[in-house]
């Protein structure tokens, strides 16, 4: 049924229109219905495309208004609050007016938090802007690998940072030209003749898409162009806040200097022209000394607060660094005794062979030793890799297998259910330290375990899904613990943000599960350093928390020659 729907919907499409006063042509739109056996009720079937469109970030519509101007309307969907109608300035059209031009799109930025695997896969196969002439699809426009509007080329050039490749859209443009005098097909019926009217149509569609995407991106609080001036990220780092605050101080000092110059100017020179409109016109560029002093005081207090936050953060990093050195030394020393412990355990097992209760205790001891061996092996390998400065492409599956093999004793001891899946073909990352990815996994794993313990969940579940797209690897790490409130989804990556610090050595296990508030901050720093992204997103059914990571894929020349 899905194939039938896709074929019919892609071949013919006409919008509703008024053919004469009081007469409406409903147009042609593909719908499938089913009859519910018990009630006989006829209900529409929600096909895949309907589900996909419901996950769009915004819709874009365009048509000619009464003045024959290209009028564009954008509407935000889901959480995006934007509703705007504007006219495409500086664009004159004649062919579009004669062809009863209409245009509608669903926009999918596919940024972090909107990268569900089935949506990405669907858009990779079906994304694009189709062209319908007289209600029928004109091939090959909008088909896979067809870039008739130049959107893929524009996205690659990165002058506009907002995602706007063909796979970011599902939509169509409709034109009406029954006689074929304006838009006529080629003799091979593969596309339209490349005349002035077609060029006008193509230019109009490109400009509509770009202008709409710019406004949507701005409403999302993202940077639009590489050269955009005055852009400030929603969540600035402390260093960025300090830099901004310093610039403000310099500006206040400049205003103070201007004010002093003004007061020292000869009074006669300021009143040469009593009727001039320019007298006092520079009052907005300078402030009175008292006003500047107050502004300087407030900015200095603000800087002191940022500096204290920075000091706290750096001190905590220093503590963690010292702890890391201590763990390295501890791991090295304890490995000297592990072999002896394992041999002693085997000898003890033989000595108490006839005592079931003792055998049970020895079995538990062996299990704990195995867990200790797994952890020390993992830490030793991580520390060894940290000592190497060279970065190399990493095969994600190999790292995940090694990590979860090391964590398997913990998973089995706590009776957690682990679900790992890989979707795609190649899983090579850009050059990085293997210890960086291991550290990210360790943080996500320990956070998930703490969340499950805090929730009191008797059947802990972990779900890890890695999807490889054309440009990125999308990693989803989910657990069924106590979850993260939505209002804290963005704040959990802030340094030192945590619900509560650990209560000390005598605190309950639940209280000990509170962290220091640096794990996800360090994880975010690692991911950002790899040109990736990380965020909290909606979890799958049956899970409470999902951390989604996007890592760039390795380029073809970065993959080792002996990889396969």
**227 DSSP 8-state letter:** T
Say what the pLDDT of residue 442 is. 87
Last residue of a domain, one of 198, 219, 240: 219
Say what the pLDDT of residue 286 is. 54
Determine the structural domain holding residue 314 and report its residue range: 308-389
Say what the pLDDT of residue 141 is. 92
- On whether the CB atoms of residues 225 and 216 are closer than 8 A, the answer is no
Q: How far apart are CA 460 and CA 542, in angstroms?
A: 11
Say what the pLDDT of residue 59 is. 94
Q: Provide the 3-class DSSP secondary structure of residue 372.
A: helix
Q: How many alpha carbons fall within 13 Å on the CB side of residue 442?
A: 15
Q: How far apart are CA 528 and CA 428, in angstroms?
A: 18
Same domain, residue pair 418 and 521: yes
Tokens for 557? Answer: 């020349």
Strand partners, 18: 24
Say what the pLDDT of residue 273 is. 44
Say what the pLDDT of residue 445 is. 92
What CATH number does the domain containing 476 carry?
Answer: 3.30.565.10
Say what the pLDDT of residue 397 is. 92
Say what the pLDDT of residue 281 is. 40
Hey, what's the torsion of the CAs at 225, 226, 230, 232, to 10 degrees? 90
Same domain, residue pair 450 and 367: no
What CATH number does the domain containing 345 carry?
Answer: 1.10.287
Residues of the chain by 3-state class (helix, strand, coil), percent to 5: 45, 20, 35
Same domain, residue pair 408 and 442: yes
Say what the pLDDT of residue 275 is. 37
Q: How far apart are CA 218 and CA 111, in angstroms?
A: 14
Same domain, residue pair 347 and 414: no
Classify residue 240: in a domain, yes or no.
no
Write out residues in the chain with pLDDT < 50, as ranges. 112-114, 265-285, 499-514, 516
Q: What is the 3-state secondary structure (H, E, C) of 492-557?
A: HHCCCCCCCCCCCCCCCHHHHCCCCCCHHHHHHHHHHHCCCEEEEECCCCCCCEEEEEEEEECCHH
Same domain, residue pair 314 and 334: yes
Same domain, residue pair 375 and 348: yes
Q: Provide the 3-class DSSP secondary structure of residue 351.
A: helix
- On whether the CB atoms of residues 92 and 108 are closer than 8 A, the answer is no
Classify residue 25: in a domain, yes or no.
yes
Same domain, residue pair 188 and 330: no
Classify residue 507: in a domain, yes or no.
no
Classify residue 253: in a domain, yes or no.
no
Residue/partner pairs of 357-363 with CB below 8 Å, 24 or more apart: none
Q: Please give the tally of structural domains in the chain.
A: 3
Classify residue 252: in a domain, yes or no.
no
Same domain, residue pair 367 and 449: no
Classify residue 264: in a domain, yes or no.
no
Same domain, residue pair 324 and 403: no
Q: How far apart are CA 111 and CA 133, in angstroms?
A: 33
**Non-local CB neighbours of 417 within 8 Å, separated by 6+ positions:** 459, 460, 461, 462
Same domain, residue pair 405 and 494: yes
Same domain, residue pair 210 and 351: no
Classify residue 408: in a domain, yes or no.
yes
Q: What is the DSSP string of 280-340?
A: TGGGGT---HHHHHHHHHHHHHHHHHHHHHHHHHHHHHHHHHHHHHHHHHHHHHHHHHHHH
Helix (H) / strand (E) element for 70: namely: strand 70-76
Same domain, residue pair 528 and 486: yes
Q: Is 132 exposed, middle or buried (0-12, 13-18, 19+ CB in 10 A)?
A: buried
Last residue of a domain, one of 219, 236, 251: 219
- On whether the CB atoms of residues 255 and 247 are closer than 8 A, the answer is no
Last residue of a domain, one of 344, 371, 389: 389
């Amino acid at each position: 049924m899905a194939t039938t729907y896709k074929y019919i919907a892609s071949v013919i499409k006409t919008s509703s229109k008024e053919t004469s006063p009081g007469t409406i042509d409903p147009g042609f739109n593909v719908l499938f219905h089913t009859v519910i056996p018990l009630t006989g009720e006829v209900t529409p079937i929600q096909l895949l495309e309907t589900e996909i469109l419901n996950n769009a970030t915004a819709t874009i519509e365009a048509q000619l208004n009464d003045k024959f101007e290209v009028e564009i309307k954008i509407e935000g969907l889901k959480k995006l609050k934007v509703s705007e109608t504007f006219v495409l300035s500086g664009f004159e059209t004649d062919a579009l007016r004669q062809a009863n031009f209409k245009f509608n799109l669903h926009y999918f930025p596919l940024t972090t938090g909107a990268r569900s695997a089935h949506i990405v896969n669907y858009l990779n196969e079906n994304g694009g802007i189709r062209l319908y002439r007289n209600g029928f699809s004109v091939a090959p426009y909008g088909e896979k690998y067809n870039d008739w509007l130049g959107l893929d080329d524009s996205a690659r050039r990165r002058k506009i940072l907002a995602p706007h490749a063909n796979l970011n859209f599902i939509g169509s443009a409709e034109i009406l030209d029954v006689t074929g005098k304006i838009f006529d097909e080629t003799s091979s019926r593969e596309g339209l003749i490349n005349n002035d009217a077609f060029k006008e149509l193509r230019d109009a569609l490109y400009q509509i898409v770009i202008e709409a995407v710019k406004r949507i991106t701005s409403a999302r609080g993202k940077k639009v162009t590489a050269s955009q001036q005055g852009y400030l990220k929603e969540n600035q780092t402390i260093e960025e806040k300090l830099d901004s605050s310093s610039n403000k101080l310099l500006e206040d000092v400049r205003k103070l200097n201007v004010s002093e110059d003004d007061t020292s100017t000869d009074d006669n020179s300021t009143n040469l022209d009593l009727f001039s409109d320019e007298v006092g016109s520079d009052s907005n560029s300078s402030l009175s000394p008292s006003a500047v002093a107050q502004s300087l005081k407030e900015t200095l207090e603000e800087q002191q607060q940022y500096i204290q936050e920075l000091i706290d953060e750096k001190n905590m990093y220093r503590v963690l660094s010292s702890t890391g050195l201590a763990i390295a030394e501890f791991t090295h020393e304890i490995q000297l005794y592990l072999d002896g412990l394992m041999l002693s355990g085997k000898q003890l097992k033989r000595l108490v062979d006839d005592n079931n209760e003792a055998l049970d205790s020895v079995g538990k001891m062996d299990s704990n030793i195995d867990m200790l061996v797994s952890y020390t092996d993992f830490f030793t390998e991580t520390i060894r890799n940290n000592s190497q400065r060279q970065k190399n492409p990493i095969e994600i599956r190999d790292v995940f297998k090694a990590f979860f093999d090391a964590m398997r004793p913990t998973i089995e001891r706590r009776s957690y259910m682990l679900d790992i899946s890989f979707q795609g073909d190649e899983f090579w990352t850009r050059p990085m330290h293997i210890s960086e990815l291991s550290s990210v996994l360790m943080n996500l794993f320990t956070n998930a375990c703490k969340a499950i313990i805090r929730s009191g969940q008797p059947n802990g579940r972990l779900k890890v899904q890695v999807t490889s797209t054309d440009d990125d690897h999308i990693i989803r790490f989910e657990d069924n613990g106590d979850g993260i409130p939505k209002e804290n989804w963005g704040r959990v990556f802030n340094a030192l943000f945590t619900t509560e610090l650990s209560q000390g050595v005598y605190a309950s296990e639940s209280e000990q599960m509170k962290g220091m508030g640096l794990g996800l901050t360090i994880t975010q720093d690692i991911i950002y350093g790899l040109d990736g992204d990380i965020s909290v997103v909606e979890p799958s059914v049956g899970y409470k928390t999902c951390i989604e990571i996007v890592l760039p894929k390795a380029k073809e020349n970065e993959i080792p020659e002996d990889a396969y």
